Amino acid sequence: MIKLIKNLQSHQLVIEKKANSLQGKISIPGDKSISHRALMLGAMALGETTIEGLLLGEDPRSTAHCFEAMGAKISDLNTEKVIVTGIGQERLQEPSSILDAGNSGTTMRLMLGLLASQPDKFFTVTGDDSLRTRPMSRVIQPLQQMGAIIYGRNSNKNAPLAVIGQNLKPIHYHSPIASAQVKSCILLAGLMTEGKTTVTEPALSRDHSERMLRAFGATLEIDVDTHSVTIEGGAKLQGQTVIVPGDISSAAFWLVAGAITPHSELIIENVGINPTRTGILEALQMMDADITIFNQREAAGEPVADLRVKSSKLKACTLEGSIIPRLIDEIPILAVAACFAQGTTVIKDAEELRVKESDRLKVMALELGKMGAKIREFADGLEIIGGNLLNGADLDSFTDHRIAMSLAIAGLNAQGKTIINRAEAASISYPTFVDTLIKISQ
C-alpha cells in the first residue's frame, strides 16, 4: 500500500489507497532541539558529555560536524550513546574551512552567538540553498548591539556569513518575536560576556536552552511574568549526561494520524512534554481528539510521558496568540487535522512559518488545495473548512521535512493514490518515518 521509490534526483513516497486503520506502539526519534543543544554544550564544556537517545537526522549531524571542525571530539553518532569530549567555551578553534550548517537554522543561529564571542578568531558559516535564504538578521542585529562584527549577504541578512570574534558587552534585548533560536543565540553569547545579559520576549518560547545551560553549570535568572531570562557571564560549563526524550514535534504526526484515521489506536512512547512544547496537545484537545497522557516521569530535567491516541470526531477551533510559539512547528500537521474537523479552523499569528525551510503557509495551502481541501491563505495564517473528502494527488514536499510528513498523513486518509515528491526531506528530522508509516498501516 505504501512504498518509497528512489529515483536519481529524488524519492517519491507513494500511498496507493486510504488506510483502514492504524495500530501499534511507536518509538519516535530524539528531540531535535535538545539534540542540537546537547552537542553544542557538550562541545564547549570541560570533560566528557554522554548523550543517550540523540536524534540521527541530518540537522544534528550538521551541528556535530561544525563543532568537530572547531576542535571538539565527538564519537560516532548513534541513539545508544554518544561521547562528546569538550574543549571549553573559550577555546573553540578557527576551522580550516567554511562551517556548513546544512539545512539547520538552529545550528546556524545558535552557533553565531558562540562564534561572535570568540575574541580575535575568524569564522565563515554557510548552509544549503534553503538556509541561505532564511533570515539571519534576527540574531545578527542583537549580536551587533553587543559589539559583534558579522558580515553577510543582503546587508547582513543572509548567509554565507563572516564572523570576527570580539569581547562582547552585555545587553537587555527586547525581542520583537518569541523565538527560542533568537533567545538561545543571545544567551550563548552572554555566557562568554562579562556581566548579565537579558532577553525579554513577547510570549514564552521553548526553554530547552535554559534547562540545559543550568544543568551544565551556567547561572540563569528566569522571570516568568515578563518572559525574561538573564544569564551571568563567565561560568565554566562541565560535561554532563543528557538523556534525550522523544520529539513531540515528531509525535505530532502520529497524534493527528491516529485521531483522523478510523478505527485507530496508537501508543507513542517516551515523548518529551516540556510545557513550552505542548501546544500541540492543547490544540488537539481543543479539537476533541481522544488523547491520554500516562506514565509521566522526568529524564535529565525534562518531563516525559507516553501518549495514547484513538480515532475520534474532531471539531474546528481557532489557534492564535500565546499558544502559537508553543506549536509553531506543528501547524502543518494541524492544518491536516483541520481538514477532517467539522467546522472552520482558523490559524492566526503564524507569519513565522513563511521563513522556515519553506513558506509553510503557502505550501500547505497549495498542496492540500490540490487534494480538494477548502483552505485559504492569509498573511499570518490559514482558514480551513473541514469535513470534505480529500483526494489523492501528485504533491511536492518543497524539500521541507514537516511538509513531507504532513502530506503523507493526509495521503493516508485520501481517496485514491497520493504521490509525494522529494519525500526524502523527512529524514532531516525523522529518518525512520516511512518505515513507521508502513509498520502501523492496516
Last residue of a domain, one of 210, 243, 276: 243
Same domain, 26 and 161: no
Percent of the chain past pLDDT 90, that is, above it, reads 95
Encode pLDDT of 90-113 as tens digits: 889 999 999 999 999 999 999 999
Same domain, 89 and 118: yes
Same domain, 316 and 332: yes
- Alpha carbon distances (Å) from 139 to 92, 114, 170, 304, 409: 20, 12, 15, 31, 34
CATH code where residue 194 lies: 3.65.10.10
Reply yes or no on whether 329 is catalytic: yes
Same domain, 183 and 300: no
Buried b (16+ CB within 10 A) or exposed e, 194-227: eebbbbebebebbbbbbbbbebbebebeeeeeeb
Same domain, 18 and 103: no
Q: What total of structural domains would you count in the chain?
A: 2
The structure's pTM equals 0.88
- pLDDT given at position 298: 87
Domain residues for the domain of 403 are 2-30+245-440
Report how far residue 58's alpha carbon sits from residue 63's, in angstroms, rounded to the nearest whole number: 9
> Cell digits for 70?
572547531
Who contacts 192 (Cβ-Cβ below 8 Å, separation ≥6)?
Answer: 89, 90, 114, 117, 118, 168, 233
Same domain, 68 and 198: yes
Who contacts 154 (Cβ-Cβ below 8 Å, separation ≥6)?
Answer: none
Helix (H) or strand (E) holding 25: strand 23-27
Which residue(s) pair with 15 in the sheet? 2, 418
Length of the chain: 442
Last residue of a domain, one of 184, 219, 243: 243
Among 116, 121, 124, smallest CA distance to 66 is for 124
Same domain, 234 and 339: no
- pLDDT given at position 8: 59
Same domain, 397 and 336: yes
Q: Which residues of the chain have pLDDT under 70?
A: 8, 300, 442
Active-site position among 207, 306, 329, 400: 329
Same domain, 198 and 284: no
